[in-house]
């Protein structure tokens, strides 16, 4: 369940309480032994995941190890990419069905590194989203501008061409990651205000194309140099429903510190109260 509805008695409007998501995007890092030792350490540092959805996305070859290391926990395992065909002569590709069968529940789609180095476009992102959804996976679809000056037009186009053609039913299963490329791996995160403004912009596009309910319920997470020491101020923004973390997710201690930020009940309470302000 991605979110539930809360009625604001003062305004008689419905608002979603969106369960935060924290995704680890390991990119091209960690072999089997490193994957095992990460999970051993991480599991000892984070004892209860009910307060957010934790998704760890290792390289394909580590998935089986990660899935068995996450057994008996609520940690979700995701892939970092998929191909849109289910089978055939497509050397080197992996399908959504294969990813699902390997024990994954999520998949990252359209990460900026895939767009930049592997030629992915809004059109292929859309095909991958459809394939992921058909396979029963939850896609974490990434959008974001490369330079700060053209935020609005880039987000508008990526949303309109890569995501908006989905039906409302398909869209309901997505997580959107806003990842400004200038902040990824740069040690330079977006300020909470910049990130929140971009999230509002994206939510506005969702309202326009798919309606207020879809906009109210979709989780929009932030990615780009998120670390335990800058996450708190980003989390404080009601628009930011979690994080997609690269560098800081490679270390079990720093990733656990990020997950544990969502633990405090006070925090959840304030998010629930804030969520009444939507609609
Ligand atoms: P970063 O990467 O946290 O290392 O900036 C985020 C991402 O690319 O998803």
What whole-number distance in Å separates Cα of residue 184 and Cα of residue 80? Answer: 16
What whole-number distance in Å separates Cα of residue 46 and Cα of residue 34? Answer: 18
In this structure, what token pair is assigned to residue 197?
Answer: 């403004």
Ranges 126-130, 210-214, 274-278, most confident: 126-130
Report pLDDT for 11: 39
Instruction: Give the residue numbers annotated as catalytic, written as ranges.
Output: 111, 179
Cβ atoms of residues 143 and 223 within 8 Å: no
* pLDDT band for position 186 (cuts 50, 70, 90): confident
Report pLDDT for 203: 97
- Judge: domain 20-70+83-272, CATH 3.40.50.300: no
User: The dihedral of CA 182, 185, 189, 194: what is its sign?
Assistant: positive
Sequence-separated (6 or more) residues with CB below 8 Å from residue 233: 192
Asked whether the predicted pLDDT for residue 269 surpasses 80, the reply is no
What whole-number distance in Å separates Cα of residue 82 and Cα of residue 56? Answer: 16
Asked whether the predicted pLDDT for residue 2 surpasses 80, the reply is no
Per-residue pLDDT tens for 27-55? 999 999 999 999 999 999 997 667 899 99
Q: 190 vs 105, which has greater pLDDT? A: 105
Report pLDDT for 185: 84
Counting from 1 in the atom list of ligand 1, the atom nearest the Cα of 23 is: 9
Backbone φ and ψ for 263, nearest 5 degrees, come out as: -75, -35
Counting from 1 in the atom list of ligand 1, the atom nearest the Cα of 248 is: 3
25 Cβ inside 6 Å of ligand 1: yes
* pLDDT band for position 132 (cuts 50, 70, 90): very high
| C-alpha of residue 77 to centroid of ligand 1, in Å | 17
166 Cβ inside 6 Å of ligand 1: no
* Average pLDDT score over the chain: 89
| C-alpha of residue 173 to centroid of ligand 1, in Å | 23
The alpha-helical segments, DSSP class H, found in the chain are 32-45, 63-69, 96-101, 112-117, 122-134, 151-162, 168-171, 192-210, 212-217, 228-235, 252-261, 265-275
Residue bearing the CA closest to ligand 1, atom 3: 246
Count Cβ atoms below 10 Å from residue 86 Cβ, excluding itself.
13
Cβ atoms of residues 59 and 30 within 8 Å: yes
- Largest Cα span, the chain: 59
């Amino acid at each position: 369940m991605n979110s539930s509805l809360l009625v604001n008695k003062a305004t008689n409007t419905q608002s979603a309480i969106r369960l935060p998501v924290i995704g680890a995007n390991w990119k091209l890092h960690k072999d089997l032994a490193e994957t095992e030792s990460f999970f051993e350490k991480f599991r000892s540092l984070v004892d209860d995941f009910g307060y957010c959805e934790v998704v760890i996305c290792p390289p394909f070859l580590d998935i089986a190890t990660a899935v068995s290391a996450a057994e008996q926990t609520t940690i979700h395992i995701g892939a970092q990419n998929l191909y849109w065909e289910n089978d055939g002569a497509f050397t080197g590709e992996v399908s959504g069905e294969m990813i699902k069968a390997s024990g994954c529940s999520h998949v990252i789609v359209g990460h900026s590194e895939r767009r930049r180095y592997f030629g992915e476009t809004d059109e292929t992102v859309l095909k991958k989203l459809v394939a992921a959804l058909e396979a029963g996976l939850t896609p974490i679809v990434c959008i974001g501008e490369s330079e700060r000056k053209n935020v609005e037009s880039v987000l508008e186009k990526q949303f309109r061409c890569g995501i908006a053609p989905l039906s409302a039913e398909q869209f309901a299963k997505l997580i959107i990651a806003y990842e400004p490329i200038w902040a990824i791996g740069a040690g330079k995160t977006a300020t909470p205000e910049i990130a929140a403004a971009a999230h509002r912009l994206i939510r506005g596009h969702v309202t326009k194309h798919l309606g207020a309910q879809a906009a109210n319920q979709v989780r929009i997470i932030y990615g780009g140099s998120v670390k335990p020491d800058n996450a708190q101020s980003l989390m404080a923004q009601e628009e930011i429903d979690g994080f997609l973390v690269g560098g800081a997710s490679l270390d079990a201690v720093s990733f656990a510190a990020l997950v544990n930020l969502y633990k405090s009940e006070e925090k959840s309470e304030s998010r629930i109260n804030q969520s009444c302000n939507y609609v």
